[in-house]
Amino acid sequence: MSGHGAQSPLQAKPTSDPAKKLCILVVEDEGMVAMLIEDMLTHMGHEVGAVVSRMEEALQIAKTGSFDLAIIDVNLDGQPSYPVAELLTARGIPFVFATGYGRQGVDPKFAQVPTLAKPFVSKDLAKLLSQTEPRL
């Protein structure tokens, strides 16, 4: 009697849905970290709409860019990136923070924003993206 309703491992839900290809903005001032995030996203089947490393260009693309969501480094070349987050919020574009300081490194004003603690692995990024509702 093997019919106890147990689910076979082969019936498990896939970890990524290729139908949900997203266009993602990456705001990161460390070149190697930005490349790593870009590689992770591409490997997951997403499109990286832009990678920006300076506040001025991050603000400009946050105002005018077309993407489904963003990953923002909290500390952008020594400056807090909250103005970028505020612009994205005003436009209704969801985002997640990436920081080496953990949740305690995020302004309490943004306590509800999902946060990735650096360093992170692809699995952590995929899980966070699956929990974030993109603007489609």
**What is the pTM (predicted TM-score) of this model?**
0.83
CB environment 71-88: b (16+ within 10 A), e (fewer): bbbbbbeeeebbebbebb
Q: Give the residue among 65, 67, 72 at the shortest CA–CA distance from 26.
A: 72
pLDDT in tens, 82-130: 999 999 999 999 999 999 887 788 999 999 999 999 999 999 999 998 8
Q: Give 44's contacts (C-beta < 8 A, 6+ positions apart).
A: 16, 122, 125, 126, 129
Q: Give 61's contacts (C-beta < 8 A, 6+ positions apart).
A: 25, 50, 52
What does DSSP assign to residue 68?
Answer: S
**Residue carrying structure tokens 């082969």:** 10
**Of residues 4 and 114, more confidently modeled:** 114
Share of the chain above pLDDT 70, in %: 85
CATH for the 20-131 domain, from 3.90.1300.10, 3.30.365.10, 3.40.50.720, 3.40.50.2300: 3.40.50.2300
- Report the Cα–Cα distance between both ends of the chain, in Å, rounded: 47
7 pLDDT above the threshold of 70: no
Return the domain boundaries, the chain: 20-131
27 pLDDT above the threshold of 60: yes
